[in-house]
Amino acid sequence: MAMNNIGRPTSIDGNVGEVVQTTSGSKGLLQKTELIFEYGSKDTTGVDIEDVTTGNSRLGNLARKEEINLPGLSEPEAVRHYVRLSQRNYAIDLGLFPLGSCTMKHNPRLNEAMARLPGFSDIHPLQPVSTVQGALELMHELAHWLTTLTGMKSVALSPKAGAHGELCGMLSIRAALDARGQQHRKRVLVPKSAHGTNPATAAQCGFEVDEVAQTHDGRVDLEDFKSKLGDDVAGCMITNPNTCGLFEPQIKEIADLIHSAGGYFYCDGANFNAIVGKVRPADLGVDAMHINLHKTFSTPHGGGGPGSGPTVLSEALAPFAPVPYVVKTSNGFDLIENETGEAAQAFGRMVAFHGQMGMYVRALSYMLSHGNDGLKQVAEDAVLNANYILASLKDVMSPAFDGYCMHEALFDDHFLEGTGVTTLDFAKAMIDEGYHPMTMYFPLVVHGAMLIEPTETESKATLDTFIASMRALAVAAKSNDKSRFDNAPHLAPSKRLDETQAARKPVLKWAAE
């Protein structure tokens, strides 16, 4: 007989178990990754640069004396370095990413390709407008989609992220109040359940934050809200659907109340993805609302940005919108960059240049792909998926509130009572199951909160697999099967990290030992 696999075992029934300690520090596909400073060399560069002879220097006496002290990597070294690092990251492309309030949905690659067309990516913000008519056209069309979907009068495209959009909206409100001679209006009503950015933004504009209570069913306490109105109120900042994943049924009453008190209604549009195409915020009495393009219109989050936070404004606030913005004229498109003429009341400027063009292209690409019909379905599917999760887990976990939810399902840690397992342990055990944890301990108004947002991206099959894992974890916690929770995650690229040490003795950059 012919042997072609000399002595090579082909069955797998060897000894199972013990974790092997490797000598290299790598673990199979998970390669050890030193810092670039530990193996890069000051004499290496991975970039070819043409020689250009320098005739004279006009650096004066400012030529760099201090060594830059930056290591270089060859191209293969750099590619490997970052590919190895990338393999330590969870991502929506890898699996379900149920991070409530953050809306991690699929990022269509068409959008990436469109944003990289040289006609968009390789144009300078201060080129003559005659040479960027297509870019202005795109911004104009995006503005049309955003104002039409929200029913609002105008949109300031330039804010660089959601929190920056909040700032834009609140500065518009400040300017409108000042124009009315009401500088004394300083108080802003913010529910306790709000994102931290809301009170931080209000403070950054010089407003004082007044917290509004919440009812036992997770909505704004209207009586408390009423009691806090007064002549010094500038407005309110309310998230709708709110951070508990619920629509505020009395939203119009809230709007009417704040308006009759002489204030404005800022709506945090972080959760607009739940109602896009189904409800126009203008119909609810909103004066200003930012839209996170990455949440509702699928621009990639990129591990912490870039975001983009266009802010739609009502008739009352539109005159105060910051420059620049695009207008359509008889011979094409123009940019209004100066605070004169029609922009004489503009409160100023949010950023140098025009905002996040790269994100505008991606968002418009997503809008065009879906259309007005598809966007409506985005909201419906997101809400359907969240309710399916809520319904499928409510008997083993503890929903924070009764009734249907919108785009995210909120649980508290009541079901873990007496198990010794905390929300944090539960979340970390999800990592071992192959999932990014849900948002935890937010909103602050719910004890041990777990906020699950599946988005419209997920199929029923994916949701069922996720639900099965969550049910198994809940059952394990209750049956005192603690090993999977203690010090979890066990199977992630890193074990639990010591955040106390990091904060007590901050090491924020690498230094040779």
Of 4, 15, 69, 479, which lies in the binding site for another protein, with binding defined by CB under 8 A? 69
Span interacting with another protein, options 111-119, 311-319, 445-453, 472-480, rule CB under 8 A: 111-119
Closest approach of another protein to the CB of residue 182, in Å:
14
Angle between helices 162-179 and 197-204 (to 10 degrees): 40
Nearer to another protein, 205 or 316 (CB): 205
Name the residue among 249, 244, 251 with its Cα closest to residue 266.
251
Span interacting with another protein, options 221-229, 272-280, 408-416, 473-481, rule CB under 8 A: 272-280
User: In terms of DSSP bridges, do strands 288-290 and 409-412 run parallel, antiparallel, or are they unpaired?
Assistant: unpaired
In contact, 412 and 426? CB cutoff 8 Å: no
Decide: is 12 part of the binding site for another protein (CB under 8 A). no
Span interacting with another protein, options 9-17, 259-267, 436-444, 473-481, rule CB under 8 A: 436-444
Decide: is 446 part of the binding site for another protein (CB under 8 A). no
Nearer to another protein, 406 or 421 (CB): 406
Decide: is 484 part of the binding site for another protein (CB under 8 A). no
Decide: is 371 part of the binding site for another protein (CB under 8 A). yes
Decide: is 209 part of the binding site for another protein (CB under 8 A). yes
Size of the residue set binding another protein (CB under 8 A): 200
Name the residue among 213, 193, 249 with its Cα closest to residue 451.
193
Backbone angles phi, psi at 391, to 5 degrees: -65, -35
Closest approach of another protein to the CB of residue 227, in Å:
20
Decide: is 49 part of the binding site for another protein (CB under 8 A). yes
Decide: is 213 part of the binding site for another protein (CB under 8 A). no
Name the residue among 249, 307, 242 with its Cα closest to residue 444.
242
Decide: is 290 part of the binding site for another protein (CB under 8 A). no
Span interacting with another protein, options 2-10, 259-267, 376-384, 471-479, rule CB under 8 A: 376-384
Decide: is 35 part of the binding site for another protein (CB under 8 A). yes
Encoded tokens for 94:
């890898």
Nearer to another protein, 113 or 475 (CB): 113
What is the three-class DSSP state of 316?
Answer: coil
Per CB under 8 A, which of residues 187..206 are in contact with another protein?
195-197, 199-206
Of 310, 322, 448, 454, which lies in the binding site for another protein, with binding defined by CB under 8 A? 322
Of 112, 221, 224, 481, which lies in the binding site for another protein, with binding defined by CB under 8 A? 112
Query: Exposed, middle or buried by CB within 10 Å (0-12, 13-18, 19+), for 373?
Result: exposed
Decide: is 512 part of the binding site for another protein (CB under 8 A). no
Decide: is 359 part of the binding site for another protein (CB under 8 A). yes
Work out whether the CA dihedral 325, 332, 344, 151 comes out positive or negative.
negative
Encoded tokens for 496:
């639990």
Q: What is the rounded distance in angstroms from the CA atom of residue 449 to the CA atom of residue 273?
A: 21
Give the type of residue at 427: A
Closest approach of another protein to the CB of residue 172, in Å:
10
Give the type of residue at 265: F
Furthest C-alpha separation in the chain? 100
Nearer to another protein, 483 or 501 (CB): 501
Of 279, 313, 473, 477, which lies in the binding site for another protein, with binding defined by CB under 8 A? 279
Per CB under 8 A, which of residues 124..143 are in contact with another protein?
124-128, 130-135, 137-138
The total number of residues written for the chain in this structure: 513
Decide: is 344 part of the binding site for another protein (CB under 8 A). no
Decide: is 179 part of the binding site for another protein (CB under 8 A). no
Is the N-terminal amide bond of 241 cis, ω within 30° of 0?
A: yes
Span interacting with another protein, options 6-14, 224-232, 259-267, 279-287, rule CB under 8 A: 279-287
Of 10, 13, 64, 461, which lies in the binding site for another protein, with binding defined by CB under 8 A? 64
Nearer to another protein, 261 or 323 (CB): 323
Name the residue among 144, 163, 202, 132 with its Cα closest to residue 354.
132
Encoded tokens for 63:
């030529």
What is the three-class DSSP state of 230?
Answer: coil
Of 22, 26, 39, 117, which lies in the binding site for another protein, with binding defined by CB under 8 A? 117
In contact, 166 and 243? CB cutoff 8 Å: no
Q: What is the rounded distance in angstroms from the CA atom of residue 393 to the CA atom of residue 470?
A: 8
Angle between helices 133-150 and 357-393 (to 10 degrees): 30
What is the residue whose two structure tokens read 């989050």? Answer: 301
In contact, 215 and 244? CB cutoff 8 Å: no
Per CB under 8 A, which of residues 485..504 are in contact with another protein?
487, 489, 492-504
Encoded tokens for 185:
């209006």
Decide: is 153 part of the binding site for another protein (CB under 8 A). no
Decide: is 402 part of the binding site for another protein (CB under 8 A). no
Of 2, 9, 509, 512, which lies in the binding site for another protein, with binding defined by CB under 8 A? 509
Closest approach of another protein to the CB of residue 255, in Å:
11
Angle at 278 between CA 276 and CA 282, to 5 degrees: 75
Closest approach of another protein to the CB of residue 38, in Å:
10
Per CB under 8 A, which of residues 252..271 are in contact with another protein?
252
Closest approach of another protein to the CB of residue 494, in Å:
5
In contact, 152 and 248? CB cutoff 8 Å: no
What is the residue whose two structure tokens read 């509130």? Answer: 401
In contact, 416 and 485? CB cutoff 8 Å: no
Nearer to another protein, 8 or 509 (CB): 509
